[in-house]
Copies of this chain bind each other. A is one copy, B any other.
Amino acid sequence: MNNPSKSSGIKDIANALGISIGTVDRALHERTGVSPKTKARVLQMAEKLGYKPNLAAQALKLNRRLEIAVVLPKQISHFFDPLRAGIRAAADATVGMHIKVTFYEYPRLGQGDLELLEARLKDKYDGIIFTPGNPRKLESIIQRLAAHGTAVLCVASDAPGSRRIGLVSAHAYSSGALAAELLSHKLSRKTHVATITGELTTFDHAEKLRGFAATLAMLAPHLSLLPVVESHERPKEAYRQTIALLHGETKPQGLYISTANSLPVLRALEEEDLLGKIQVVTTDLFQELVPMIETGKILATLYQRPYTQGKVAFESLITHLLEERKTSPMIRLAPHIIFRSNLPLFTDRLDGLADPGRS
Contact = CB atoms under 8 A, between A and B. Distances in A.
A287 interface: no
Q: Which 9 A-B pairs have the closest CB atoms?
A: A56-B96, A177-B341, A331-B357, A56-B59, A181-B341, A56-B60, A334-B359, A55-B95, A333-B359
**A186, A312, A344, A357 — most chain B CB neighbours (10 Å):** A357
**A96, A182, A356 — most chain B CB neighbours (10 Å):** A96
A174 interface: yes
A219 interface: yes
Interface in A323-359: 329, 331-337, 339-342, 344-346, 356-359
A259 interface: no
Interface in A289-319: 312
Interface residues of A, number: 44
Contacts of A357: 168, 312, 331-333
Contacts of A29: none
A22 to B, nearest CB: 19
Contacts of A262: none
A215 interface: yes
A54 interface: yes
A174 B341 contact: yes
Contact of A341 (B57, B215, B312, B329): B215
A18 to B, nearest CB: 25
